[in-house]
Chain A
Amino acid sequence: MYPYIPNTPLDEQEMLKEIGLESIDQLFNDIPGDVLLKRELNIPESKSELEVTTYLKSLADKNCSLSELTSFLGAGAYDHYIPSVVDAIISRSEFYTSYTPYQPEISQGTLQYIFEFQTLICKLTGMDIANASLYDGGTAITEAALMACASSRKDEIIISTGVNPQARRILKTYAHAQHLKVVEVDTKDGVTDQEALEKLVSDNTAAVIVQNPNFFGIIEDLKSIGEIAHKGKKTSFIASVNPIALGLLKRPGELGVDVVVGEGQPLGISLSFGGPYLGFMATKKDYMRKLPGRIVGETTDLDGKRSFVLTLSAREQHIRREKATSNICSNQGINSLAATVYMVTLGKEGLREVATQCVKKAHYAFNELTKSGKYKPLFNKPFFNEFALVSDKDVDELNKELRKENIMGGYNLGNEYPQYKNAVLYAVTEKRTKVEIDKLASVLEGIK
């Protein structure tokens, strides 16, 4: 017997009899002989919970966790404080063992938190409408670009090299399949080169995409980039934002952004080696019927009671099939619940305080690390909680030395930007302490 399979041998016999069969094998009589697998699968036999956890613990032990290291790694995924309430709520199996809320009568829990999530994302971004989430920040950028192309019937996408390199790779993968043209506009002094952008934007431009703060941690001038973008006819201005930074920065909705997307991982989602995370997308009313993904709306029931349902589904694949706005058939359900609980737990004051501490600690680290002149700023521009430093040392060697002191160093920018050899991108969140930052500075200083 297996713990998750309740039928007993006696049950099996009784049920087979009802069906008019004699053996379990007969249930598979319809599989032709030349397709039937005539051997056992070549994977190990079943195991007990104790054996499985012992084995998986031994694998886990081959990782290092950020609870034993001090991390200054960011580059798209961030080590923020996650309040205990988040896991308490997302561990409730009424939430995580449910399916997509197609039956609203017994899914009001899921539907309402998605409605709250959409509201919170709108408040944070200053936009009119948000969907119920997408796979992650990178694919959200691609979905936004595809939406801009489909609604403008144009095929050229301009994207800044200040956008996360892996997001640009995803965009290129999809664009290739749809025969869309992706044009990269370079950065200058660490920010999107506005002069170059101005030359590229034309009436053929479906979308201009930037990231804020950009991949180097620098704050982009969304307002003036938006003005350039909008010189193209029906060109959408898309910004990928860090939601924590919105605790302090002007809302994209006030700055002329048409579609706001982003990676929601900083909002209470564990790092988990890269996923699952949370893509979000918010936009203006005009795009309401063009949005990809699920949307929850408010309505009333037979008794006039406020209730929530999946709505505007005429955009979606199960109704529209090949004419759908996207093939997406899920949202990040339980992760959007984590982000919702995080946003309301931190609330009005908290999100601002987290953002403020990030900025102040990052700037303190920047000052300490650059004090002696051994490590120089790569750029001189206002940044949020990440900054790039350059030296004559190989980044991997630096990080190796830091590892000996239980510090996980920054991201090697040279991996994706060959022109920035020996440059490191450091991220500092509210979790880092003065003592940890001072130690980073002193270890770096001591490296020969």
Chain B
Amino acid sequence: MKDYDKLIFEISKPGRKAYKLPPLDVVDTPLDSLIPDEFLSDKELDLPEVSEVDVIRHYTNLSNKNYGVDTGFYPLGSCTMKYNPKINEAVARYDKFANVHPLQTEDCIQGSLQVMYELEKSLCEIAGMDRMTLQPAAGAHGEITGIMIIKAYHEKRGDHKRNKIIVPDSAHGTNPATAAMAGYSIIEIKSTEDGLVDLEALRAVVGEDTAGLMLTNPNTVGIFDKGIKEIAQIVHDAGGLLYYDGANMNAIMGYARPGDMGFDVVHFNLHKTFSTPHGGGGPGAGPVGVKKDLVEFLPVPMIEKKDDRYFLDYNYPNSIGKVKDFYGHFSILLRAYTYILTMGRDGLKKASEMAVLNANYIKEKLKDYYYLPIDTLVKHEVVFGGLKDTLSEVTTLDIAKRLLDHGYHPPTIYFPLIINQALMVEPTESESKETLDGFIETMIAISKEAESNPEVLKTAPHDTIVRRPDETKAARNPIVKYEG
């Protein structure tokens, strides 16, 4: 069914149904005697009419047009596309986890609260932080929560002149967008040639207006910033705080902790490091950890324990408030806790070891064929700058599209911005040597193809369901819903 190309609206037929409800068993009062006519719609709903078989076939066919981690290798840099264990899915569907209303009385939610309590403890230990809120819905949401905590800290001290957040030019786009959303102006500092924080540039910009610095470590080039203690010193001496973007935590579990590096606030991406599914774009979870001095500002409620009873604690008078409905993405948190229990301290450390081994292996095997701007030990990912032959007309985009023909999801492309023609490869620990060898072989073949037959790359992909959809056209003349 490779050619299936219908929208659900196009297979609708009047009279079809995919559902059946029990008959109404209470007195059948006419609607307009319950709700005034002026509020009731006089139009029929314009929704599809399909059978259950239609629904299942339609979405099964759509699923066949997708590529997931369960399909194959997904070396998408900075996204940590590791395997999503099936036990996580099973546990999230337990009746007594899935069918629990968030406002049930405390005696009816002890299990869920215990999961959250224990997860917080584990994440704090992995991060080296004192407390953690599980409320943020995603990495970017964790970022804004953390930056608002930093803001609350300065405000409580009456230090109102701190209105700038420093961000390296290698940072994820969410970092500057977050700081702006939290009401800060942004100072971007250049990285050194090695992709590290330029200490001189940092010294030059810190001052009385510095609220904080946002950083990943290892950074977006995959390199561990050895100057981290000094960076922390510079920012702290200026009165600012350090924010850790946990996007790259998969590189260092059990080896280094942001809390020990001098960071004051940390977020983790549970959908990256802790194996919860990316879900085609979400939902993830972005818990935020803080050091002691910042605990009072965490969002409410926090989960506490007293005499073997768990409870929701709203008694944080200096809290920034709430950042989302209820208590966080509980079923995602549960999946992450399942993963932590399964892997244990030994398995998590092993995961980081193999993620790093795999990345360095790919780096060694491909550096003769692809331009490697910084040739040093990397952590969980390696960034190439396109083909070694920099004069080639073949771009990173062409290479990515050609990989599709070979059944691979391409690496992240054109990020980080500081590396021209960036191709960012993050293999994760989920992949075997055989898988890596297959990918390496394909990448080498593509680099040779770039010399012998560049046209085949320029016009790639050739074997996919659609080929290079026109994004300019989509943006210029937006069609964002079905109008048929």
B126 touching A53, Cβ below 8 Å: no
Name the residue of chain A whose CB is nearest to the CB of B470.
A299
Q: Is B55's beta carbon under 8 Å from chain A?
A: yes
- Determine whether the beta carbon of B256 is less than 8 Å from that of A35: yes
Of the candidates A4, A106, A249, A353, which one forms a contact with B430 in the assembled complex, judged by CB atoms under 8 Å apart? A4
On whether the beta carbons of A96 and B47 are closer than 8 Å, the reply is: no
Hey, what's the 0/1 contact readout for B79-113 against A, CB within 8 Å counting as 1? 10111110101111111111111111101111110
Give B57-80 as 1s and 0s: 1 = Cβ < 8 Å from A's Cβ atoms.
001101111111111001010010
CA distance A52 to B118 in the complex (A): 14
Contacts of B151 in A (CB 8 A): 177
Minimum distance in angstroms from B475 CB to a CB of chain A: 5
Q: Is the Cβ of A107 less than 8 Å from the Cβ of B137?
A: no
B340 within 8 A of A: yes
Chain B, interface residues (CB within 8 Å), range: 35 or more
Name the CB-closest residue of A to B341: A52
Known: A333-B283, A347-B50. A41 touches B349 (CB 8 A): yes
- Is A298 interfacial (CB-CB < 8 Å)? yes
Instruction: Confirm or deny: A379 has a beta carbon within 8 angstroms of a beta carbon on chain B.
Output: no
A411 near B282 (CB under 8 angstroms)?
Answer: no
Do residues A73 and B103 form an inter-chain contact, with CB atoms below 8 A? yes
Contact yes or no, B137 A139, CB < 8 A: yes
Please, which residue of chain A has its CB at the minimum distance from the CB of B102?
A274
Chain A residues with CB under 8 Å of B94's CB are 56-57, 60
A357 and B24 contact, CB distance less than 8 A: yes
Task: Report the stretch among A6-14, A192-200, A203-211, A229-237 that lies at the interface.
Answer: A6-14
- What is the chain B residue whose CB lies nearest that of A325? B177
- Shortest Cβ distance from A384 into B: residue: B35
**B475's contact among A96, A105, A219, A297, by CB below 8 Å, is which?**
A297
Closest B-chain residue to A120, C-beta based? B47
> A317 near B173 (CB under 8 angstroms)?
yes
Q: Is the CB of B317 closer than 8 A to any CB of chain A?
A: no
Is the CB–CB distance between A75 and B103 below 8 Å? yes
B contact residues around A129 at 8 Å (CB): 480-481
Q: Give the Cβ gap from A94 to chain B, nearest Cβ, in Å.
A: 4
| Choice from A36, A85, A294 contacting B256 with Cβ under 8 Å | A36
Which of chain B's residues have a CB closer than 8 A to the CB of A137? 325
Residue of B nearest to A304 (CB): B470
Q: Does the CB pair A434–B26 fall under 8 Å?
A: yes
Chain B nearest CB, measured from A143 CB (Å)? 10
Contact with A along B374-395 (1 / 0, CB 8 A): 0011010000000000000000
One of B24, B110, B475 near A62 (C-beta < 8 A): B110
**B325→A98 contact, CB < 8 A:** no
CA of A19 to CA of B376, assembled, Å: 11
Count, chain A residues at interface, CB 8 A? 202
**Interface 1/0 per residue, A5-44 and B, CB below 8 Å:** 1110001101110111100100111111011110011111
User: Cβ of A94: which chain B residues have Cβ within 8 Å of it?
Assistant: 63-64, 66-68, 70-71
Q: Which residues of B have CB within 8 Å of A92?
A: 59-60, 63
In the bound complex, residues from chain B placing their C-beta under 8 Å from that of A326 are 177, 181
Q: Does the CB pair A44–B344 fall under 8 Å? A: yes
- A44-B341, A322-B179, A341-B59 known; A11 and B432 CB under 8 Å? yes
Given contacts A96-B277, A118-B481, contact A335 B283 (CB under 8 A): yes
**Is there contact, CB below 8 Å, between A27 and B356?**
yes
Query: Whole-angstrom distance between the alpha carbons of A353 and B469 in the complex?
Result: 40
A77 touches B (CB below 8 Å): yes
* CB of B176 closer than 8 Å to a CB of A: yes
**Chain B nearest CB: distance from A58 CB in Å?**
8
Pick the contact of B176 from A27, A223, A321 — CB < 8 Å? A321
- Whether A104 contacts B466 in the complex (CB less than 8 A), given A27-B353, A98-B278, A120-B47, comes out as yes
Task: Check A411 against B103 for contact (C-beta < 8 Å).
Answer: yes
A360 at the interface (CB under 8 A from B): yes
Does A363 interact with chain B (Cβ within 8 Å)? yes
A328 is an interface residue with CB less than 8 A from chain B: yes
A344 to B55, CA, bound (A): 8
A297 and B479 contact, Cβ closer than 8 Å, known pairs A60-B96, A103-B410, A348-B47: yes
Query: Is B41 at the interface (CB under 8 A from chain A)?
Result: yes
B134-153 interface code vs A (CB 8 A; 1 in, 0 out) = 00011111011001100100
> Does B295 lie at the interface of the complex (its beta carbon under 8 Å from any beta carbon of A)?
no
| Contacting residue for A275 out of B27, B329, B344, B465, CB 8 A | B329
Question: Cα distance A313–B173 when bound, in Å?
Answer: 13
Contact A408 B104 (CB under 8 A): yes
Partner of B469, one of A169, A176, A300, A361: A300
Chain B, residues 168-179, CB within 8 Å of chain A (1/0): the string is 000011101111
Contact A64-B96, Cβ < 8 Å, known A178-B183, A360-B26: yes
| Bound: A328/B17 CA distance, A | 37
Q: Tell yes or no: B284 within 8 A of A by CB.
A: yes
Q: Is the CB of A271 within 8 A of B126?
A: no
Interface pair B52/A344, CB less than 8 Å apart: no
Contact between B326 and A274, CB atoms less than 8 A apart: yes
- Asked whether any CB of chain A lies closer than 8 Å to the CB of B471, the reply is yes
Which of chain B's residues 274-295 have a Cβ closer than 8 Å to chain A?
275, 277-285
Q: CB of B442 within 8 A of chain A? A: no
14 more A-B residue pairs beyond the given contacts A116-B7, A299-B479, A317-B176, with a C-beta to C-beta distance below 8 A: A18-B361, A37-B254, A40-B346, A46-B342, A59-B115, A62-B110, A69-B108, A93-B69, A99-B76, A138-B322, A170-B324, A327-B178, A347-B17, A347-B50
Q: List 18 A-B contacts (CB under 8 A).
A: A7-B358, A28-B255, A44-B344, A59-B114, A60-B111, A66-B100, A106-B409, A112-B65, A116-B7, A123-B46, A139-B324, A248-B41, A275-B326, A275-B330, A297-B480, A303-B467, A350-B19, A437-B26
The 7 closest A-B pairs by CB, nearest first: A274-B326, A274-B102, A46-B344, A97-B68, A109-B66, A173-B321, A62-B111
